[in-house]
Structure 1
Amino acid sequence: MIIKILGTGCKKCTALGENAKAAAEAAGLSPEIVKVTDQAAIAGYGVMSTPALVIDEKVVSTGKVLNPAQIGALLTAG
């Protein structure tokens, strides 16, 4: 499993990355977590508002910082 955090590296992007890591650990998963800061790469996902969360190349959230419980639900739903 690959989790990508799309954003410029701002405070919200960092928080989303930390929440994703916490959610994965709580679910007993060890995904690769990748931060994508390149504007062209972010636009390639069709994302217009960051931070965005991508799980296995599927955009699951844009423009908000999900908490670990919300991310955990997305990780185990798939």
Structure 2
Amino acid sequence: MDIKVLGTGCQKCKELDKLVREVVAEINVPANVEKVEDIAQIVQYGVMLTPGLVINGKVKISGRLPNKADIKKMIEEEK
């Protein structure tokens, strides 16, 4: 599974990265979690508001910070 956390380094972006890594560890799913801070790469996903969450190439979240339950649900949908 390929997970990308999109964000330029704001507090919400850092929090999303932390939450995603916690959820991946908790549900023990093999995943490559990457933090993408480059604006050009973020825009390629069509994300104009950060933080953003991309799972297996699909934009799941843009412009808000989801809770752990929401993140877990999104990851499990893509398994």
* Same fold? TM cut 0.5: yes
In structure 2, stretches of 5+ residues that fail to align are: none
Quote the Cα distance in structure 2 between the aligned partners of 1:61 and 1:18.
15
Q: Does 1:28 align with 2:28?
A: yes
TM-score (norm 2): 0.92
Name the residue aligned to 1:19: 19
Aligned length: 78
The residue type paired with residue 60 of structure 2 is V
In structure 1, stretches of 5+ residues that fail to align are: none
- Runs of 4+ displaced beyond 4 Å: none
C-alpha RMSD of matched pairs (Å) = 0.9
Name the residue aligned to 1:52: 52
Quote the Cα distance in structure 2 between the aligned partners of 1:13 and 1:30.
22
Percent identical among aligned pairs is 40
